[in-house]
Every structure is written in C-alpha cells, then in structure tokens.
Amino acid sequence: MQMVKSKSKVAIIGTGFVGASAAFTMALQQTANELVLIDVFKEKSIGEAMDINHGLPFMGQMSLYAGDYSDIKDCDVIVVTAGANRKPGETRLDLAKKNVLIAKELTQNIMKHYNHGVILVVSNPVDIITYMVQKWSGLPVGKVISSGTVLDSIRFRYLLSEKLNVDAKNVHGYIIGEHGDSQLPLWSGTHIAGKNINEYFNDPKSNLREEDKAIIAEGVKTAGATIIKNKGATYYGIAVAVNTIVETLLKNQNTIRTVGTVINGMYGIDDVVISLPSIVNSEGVQEVLQLNLTPEEEDALRFSANQVKSVLNEVKN
Ligand code: 6V0
C-alpha cells in the first residue's frame, strides 16, 4: 500500500453552509496541512478563512486561506460545494439545470490549473453534477467521485442503531443508488455482529418489526427535506461525511464507502452516476464492488439508475 503523504492540500470550492462547515470540520480534525477556500463571492471565503483561523490555535496547525483557482495546482482533493441549495418543496432534481451551469464554469476553471488529485462533488443533484464534471474534466472515471449516499448510509445506520439500541459503529449497512428519492437500503447486505438484519426483524426479542423497514427507508430518504423544512439547510451531517471521505482519500485508506462514480456494465447499468459500496483510496474509486443483490434489489437499483438517467438526458439536451 502507498505511504500516507506527509503534506496534503485540499481545496473547497463554494464556501456557503456546506463548504464552510466542511472547512471547519477539517480544521477541527486537522485533516489536511493546507486548505484553500474558493468562492465566486470572495468576501465570503475571506470571512470564513478568518473566522476558522481564529479558532485554529486551539485545534492545531494548518495553512488555511481564501484563494483562487490558481491554488488548485498541487491539490490532492478538490471538493465542490458551490451552487444553490434545495429550497423547501424543491426536489434535488429541480436543482439540476441551475447547478449544472455553475459546475460547467468551475470545471473549466479547475482544469486550467489541475495537475493531480481527486475531485469530490457534493453540490446537488450530486449524481448529475458528478457525471457532467467527469465528462467535462476528461479525467478517469475513478478520479471524479461524489459524496453520493455516504450521508444517507450513515443516517440509515443511525436509525437502525436507535431502534436496536446498538452503537451505530456496529451496524453495517448501505444505502445505494441515487442520492435522492429512488435510493434503496441494501437490506441483504445489512448486518450487526455478523448476523443479517433480517434475523433481527424476525426475532420476537428484538425491537424491529417488518413494517419498520419501510419506516426506516423513508426516514433516510426524507431526512434532508425534514432538516431543510426545520432550519433551512443541511450542513453539519454532510460536512462530517465530506471530511470522512477526504480523510479516506488523503490517507489512502482503501475504505469501503458509498461514494458515486460513473457506473459502466454492472447490474445492466451503464453510463450514469449512482452510489455503490466502493473501495476508496488516494487514487479515488479503486473498485466498485460487485455484490450479490436479491432480484428485487437489482430491479430497484436499475430503476434508480434510470431515474437519474432520465434527468441527465433532460440536462444534456
Ligand atoms: P450555499 O450556502 O448557498 O453556498 C453555496 C456557495 O456557492 C455560495 O457561497 C456561493 O457564493 C458559491 N458559489 C455559487 N456559484 C459559484 C461559482 N460559480 N464558483 C464558486 N462558488 C460559487 O449552499 P449550501 O452550502 O447549503 O449547499 C451547497 C450545495 O451542496 C448545494 O447544491 C446543496 O444542495 C448541496 N448539498 C449536498 C448534500 C449532499 O449530501 N450531497 C447535502 C447538503 C447540501
């Protein structure tokens, strides 16, 4: 395995709620040595850099500054969080046309200075934006990844852990497919202490009932919209998810994460970004794992991919 780099540089493009919270999380966790904040609204990135820098002496050491696209040079990870966020009542897919235009401009700017590294897209609708950024950048598929269903998967594990009163760290399970309404829990691959989740559903001693499956899946799917309804935007959960993915990339961890990449030829799915458990290291997505899905899960995954594809086709035209 490759050695952990002694010096690491990360850029965050878009320093709104998500970008600034991700920067703050990276400062707290000391995830990188150098962190550059870039925003079309330059004062915002300057203000965020100042604010975080004033807390930095309590957290550790890091070179954190507001920069511009020339600072993309030598970045190991480029995080894209620029773009409008979802308004109450607006679906992720409604956002597509608005944010695709922003993504096109910033991809051109990134590629003027890019020399290596992984692009991690967070802006919604993340499956659509990631697909377009990969095509526009011309980078290999595994080098342009999305935060995908990493946040959804942790919400899934959290909800199951609450129900079962077990530490979420001991709940293994994934949400796969679209980061959006057609996503699905991978129940066949969900287990606790090596025991498949279905055994807990069928156990009279357990708190879980068969009807909880739909409730939990719906709870994960609607979590973002519920938070937006209550406080206007979601940013802490995604900030920590972004920091975790960045750490996986910088430390060459080979960790399995449900990031999104362009899928070609798996489960009959082609040329679309969806999220599947994937081995992630400093090169980006090293391998998307081929799993033994049930026929129902495979159908639902293909449906999800088709949902993303239909929006993609609208955006491309
Ligand atoms: P925000 O607070 O409006 O911040 C967006 C930032 O992007 C602002 O500071 C803008 O100035 C900046 N910006 C706009 N255009 C450009 C440009 N061309 N170049 C550089 N910067 C630009 O939004 P917020 O931070 O809440 O959300 C950002 C994006 O993340 C949205 O698309 C959200 O929908 C998305 N999220 C994705 C999540 C996920 O799980 N993938 C979760 C939460 C939000």
ipTM above 0.95, yes or no: yes
Pocket test residue of 46, 72, 122 for ligand 1, highest count of atoms within 8 A of CB: 122
What lies within 8 Å, CB to CB, of 221 at 6+ separation is: 152, 181, 183
Pocket test residue of 17, 107, 133 for ligand 1, highest count of atoms within 8 A of CB: 17
What is the signed CA dihedral for 104, 106, 109, 111, rounded to 10 degrees? Answer: -70
Q: Can you give the pLDDT at residue 5?
A: 63
The pairing of beta strand 118-121 with beta strand 34-38 = unpaired
Task: Give the C-alpha separation, 240 to 222, whole Å.
Answer: 19
Q: Can you give the pLDDT at residue 210?
A: 87
- Does 307 contact ligand 1 (Cβ within 6 A)? no
Count other Cβ atoms within 10 Å, centred on residue 41: 12
Nearest one of 288, 303, 221 to 258, comparing CA atoms: 288
Q: Can you give the pLDDT at residue 92?
A: 60
Is the pTM higher than 0.90?
A: yes
Given 54, 172, 179, 191, the catalytic residue: 179
Task: Give the C-alpha separation, 297 to 301, whole Å.
Answer: 6
- Does 150 contact ligand 1 (Cβ within 6 A)? no
Chunk the chain into consecutive blocks of 10 residues (it has 317) and report each block's average pLDDT, rounded to whole numbers.
72 98 98 97 98 96 97 98 80 79 96 97 96 98 98 97 93 97 96 92 84 94 94 96 98 98 96 98 97 96 97 85
What lies within 8 Å, CB to CB, of 26 at 6+ separation is: 10, 32, 35, 62, 243, 246
Q: Which atom of ligand 1 is nearest to the CA of 92?
A: 34
Q: Can you give the pLDDT at residue 142?
A: 98
Clarify whether 172 is annotated catalytic.
no
